[in-house]
Amino acid sequence: MPRKYDRVIFVCTGNTCRSPMAEALLKNLIQEEGIEILSRGLIVLFSEPINPKAEEVLKNHDIPTTEHTTKQFKAIEVTENTLVLTMTYKQKLKIIQDYGIEKNLYSIKEYVEEFGDVVDPYGGTLLDYEGCYEELALLVKKTMYRLLREV
Mean pLDDT by 10 residues, the chain (151 residues): 88 98 96 87 96 97 90 98 98 98 98 98 97 98 93 68
DSSP 13: S
pLDDT the model gives residue 1:
61
Q: Which of 6, 7, 117, 120 is catalytic?
A: 120
- Catalytic, 17? Answer no
- Catalytic, 18? Answer yes
pLDDT the model gives residue 148:
87
pLDDT the model gives residue 76:
98
Enclosing H/E stretch for 18: helix 18-29
Q: Which of 12, 17, 40, 132 is catalytic?
A: 12
pLDDT the model gives residue 64:
86
Helix, strand, coil content of the chain in percent (nearest 5) = 40, 15, 45
Query: What domains can be seen in the chain, in order of their start residue?
Result: 7-149 (3.40.50.2300)
- Catalytic, 12? Answer yes
